[in-house]
Amino acid sequence: MLKGQKVLLRATKREDMLRQWEFENDPEMWFWDGGTPRPASLEQLLADFDQNAGKGGGSNVSDDSALSFAIEADGKYIGHCGLHHFDEVGRSCELSVEIGDKAYWGQGYGRDVVQLLLDYAFRHRNMNRVWLKTHSENERAIRCYRACGFVEEARLRQHIWIDGRYVDRVIMGLLREEVNLTEQVRVYSPRLAHPEQAVDFKKEIIEAPSDDGGSITV
């Protein structure tokens, strides 16, 4: 289990699927995720969970290499996150976060999740690059990722069709050499090319707007 300032990342439980079913039937979640709304069956979610639990995954994510976590806050399940698509040669992986409980949007919970996943990826899995994808309309997510040190690496123009219009797919990434591991606080500080441009990242975490990504990607 990974414990941050606001959240606990733990193994997914079968009983979490009831809340996840509610999240997946919320059309707004599909918008922020960049997907097409469609009904989700509780029976199918439970079947997927049971199938993956039998393989040792214990989640409803089918990627065999994925590391998936339930996000818990105030003792309840509020979403899920993980690291996916591990490249063991290139030392890279994809990061994803989905906070489905809207009561926890815009209060820094998403940022806390991202920082825990980055610590795990760089410190424990020896990744060299962590990347993610979102879309241009999800400005809260982009602000959250930038505050955690991610930079935009690519933009696929009009790549996604959501809510009756085309929007850009945004790819962001963070390299190991661009962060400093701090043993005491276990957070990451962007290491800029010019020292005079350096910022106090610990101070930024406290003072920056607390927008998180809400539903970002799965």
Which residue segment(s) compose the domain that 89 sits in?
2-207
Between 16-30, 107-121, 127-141, 157-171, the lowest mean confidence (pLDDT) is in: 16-30
Instruction: Report phi then psi at 186, rounded to 5.
Output: 55, 45
Question: 187 or 32: which carries more pLDDT confidence?
Answer: 32
Q: Distance between CA atoms of 214 and 111, rounded to whole angstroms?
A: 10
Is pLDDT of 121 > 70?
A: yes
Q: Is residue 218 part of a domain?
A: no
Q: What is the pLDDT of residues 31-50, one digit of tens each?
A: 667 566 677 889 999 999 99
Has residue 23 been placed in a domain? yes
- pLDDT band of 188, cuts 50, 70, 90: very low
Give the burial string for 82-111 (b: 16+ CB within 10 Å, else e): bbbebeeeebbbbbbbbbbbeebbbebbbb
Q: Report yes or no on 28 lying in a domain.
A: yes
Least confidently predicted of 60-64, 181-185, 199-203: 199-203
Q: Is the pLDDT of residue 206 over 80?
A: no
E strands along 143-194, which residues? 151-162, 165-175, 179-181, 188-190
And the tokens for 57?
């995954």
pLDDT at 71 over 60: yes
pLDDT tens digits, 125-181? 999 999 999 999 999 999 999 999 999 999 999 999 988 899 999 999 999 999 876
User: Does 87 reside within a domain?
Assistant: yes
pLDDT at 30: 60
Greatest alpha-carbon span in the chain: 56
98 within a domain of the structure (yes/no): yes
pLDDT above 70 as % of the chain:
73
* pLDDT average, residue stretch 95-103: 94
Residue 209, pLDDT above cutoff 50: no
Residue 83 lies in a domain: yes
Number of domains composing the chain: 1
d(CA 10, CA 150): 24
Q: Above 80 in pLDDT, residue 204? A: no
The answer to whether residue 215 sits within a structural domain is: no
Do 2 and 120 contact (CB within 8 A), yes or no?
Answer: yes
What pLDDT does 36 receive?
Answer: 67
Read off the pLDDT of residues 45-70 as tens digits, 9 standing for 90 and up. Answer: 999 999 988 665 555 554 567 899 99
What distance in Å separates the CA atoms of residue 200 and residue 54, rounded to the nearest whole number?
45
Q: What is the CATH number of the domain that holds 56?
A: 3.40.630.30
Q: What is the mean pLDDT of residues 204-214?
A: 41
User: How much of the chain, in percent, has pLDDT values that exceed 90?
Assistant: 62
Position 32 scores a pLDDT of 62
216 within some domain: no
Whole-model pTM: value is: 0.78
